[in-house]
Amino acid sequence: MTKMGQTQNRSVRFPRNVLGALVGIGLVLMALPLAAQAQGVIPSVDEARVMRLADQLRCPICQGQSVKESDVFLSKQMRDQIRILIAQGKTDQEVLDDFEARYGEFILRSPKPTGMGLLAWILPVAALVGGVVWLGLVLMRAQRRSRLESPDAGGGETPDPQTEARIARDLKRFEEGL
């Protein structure tokens, strides 16, 4: 029972041995990739090739990042898998095919030019060509219109003396009205 004015301490505390075990497990899990590479499980290969292939693969967790750019654990594992596949003598296309078989076509950052992926390649080019054609038509129409409206182009006729007199009379009336 508590006396008035005193509060009970209800905070939950982990026993030191449980907290120590969790920290130890975390350190071991973080050290596994380094230990695997040191033991030769993850072979040393051409890193430029690994990064070039990793740049062609989408990180399944991160939005808009490649496996090369991402620092999440899964991307690090994927880069290690690329190293292993290269050490096994796989070509770049075989490595990409292996990841596509595991994760689906989504994992590739550039869609294949077949099926719906073909639209992703054709639509931007078609939009660019259509925009250039539309801009050309607009500019030709504007140029033709300015040529027809320009008095220097010879398209406009000079008014006869009667029309000139009427214009002068209307202009004089307008100026007097102001």
Q: What is the pLDDT of residues 19-28, one digit of tens each?
A: 676 676 766 6
Q: What H or E segment, with its residue span, contains residue 65?
A: none
Give residue-wise pLDDT tens across range 126-166. Answer: 889 999 999 989 888 888 887 777 655 555 567 788 988 99
Q: What is the pLDDT of residue 31?
A: 64
- Among candidate residues 88, 92, 101, the one with its CA nearest the CA of residue 51: 92
Q: Is the pLDDT of residue 44 over 90?
A: no
Q: Is the pLDDT of residue 66 over 80?
A: yes
What letter does residue 109 receive in the DSSP assignment?
S
Give residue-wise pLDDT tens across range 71-121. Answer: 899 989 999 999 999 999 999 999 999 999 988 888 888 877 667 767 777
Instruction: Report the greatest alpha carbon distance in the chain.
Output: 117
Q: Determine if the pTM surpasses 0.75.
A: no
- Among candidate residues 22, 110, 23, 29, the one with its CA nearest the CA of residue 77: 29
Q: What is the pLDDT of residue 9?
A: 54
| Angle at CA of residue 84, ends 83 and 90, nearest 5° | 90
